[in-house]
Chain A
Amino acid sequence: MRVKFGVNLRKVKTGAEIYIIIFQLSALLPTLYMYLISGYPYLMTRSGVHLFLFDVGISALPRWEALLLSMLYRGTSSETATYFAMLGFALLVGLVAANVLKGKPRTAIISRIVFAVLIFSDLLFRLLPIHCNQAMSPAMNVIGFVIRLACLALVALDLIAHRRKPAEN
């Protein structure tokens, strides 16, 4: 038995699935910048769309993940390791989500609740006046917060729709 959830993009994707896509895109955006400067190092000294996308991607990632990636970068002095860690984690989350979000009804609901709690705690963490929240520019902090808030809304819509239609589920 399948559970029906709220957001239904072209009757294919639920809110939580769209959240996973946004999460994976957030990991792909910074890697685009890193990939570009690996071939054209002079781009490091230029501002542009590539830098903007990098900033958006990093600020849209869960802050704890960005922190871990930064620690990995400082520890290994290797952008290549950071690059593949970022993509590898995005793939891992995508694969797990592909199984749990459309799995058994109970698993699908619990996974959405877990996502909602994680996103909500991430939003609270971003409000703390600590260094990692000030490392990015204020504009990027706002953009990142809005993206994560939208993700929380998507997952919440799923859960609300599920509560409103208990008989159908």
Chain B
Amino acid sequence: MEISEHKEAPSVIDRYYTRWYRTDLKGNACEDHCVLQHSNRICVITLAETHPILQDGRSIKSINYQISAGCSRLKNKVSGKSKRGGQFLTEYAPLCRIMCTDGVEYTIFSCIRGRLVEVNEDILKRPDLLLQKPSTEGYIAVILPKFEESKTVTEGLLSRAQYEEVVSKRANQQPEPC
């Protein structure tokens, strides 16, 4: 292989994952989520780069996977190849709540149907990961859709192109979004 000195190469995400988006989640302006779907159907849920949490100067006070009195995503345990015992999530299942230092709380949602495989516990100790590397080390959770739904789980989501369109429209409509 010719090894050029080019600076950028297609990243791991570009090579193996398809990016899907859900914008303005639950009607909340700019609360955009990103779903990275691997060719093997595994999905990684992350914040989209337009999410309010990632906008200039914000910082995180706390991240909480305890989404209700009875349910903590930290208690999720899977076993075996089929990931038995993982919590089953629907599109609008909350994954965690993130409190910013300015007192605003955001809920991050599953976006797709599937079994919860793991949540990212590293961001509990290092919330800065979420801000600095939102689409890699700062991921929120890993979800495994049902085998028979692996093609259909992303049906209601936006493609990268559609997402970019939404974002640029937003910029035109309101000079200062979010």
Chain B associates with chain A: no
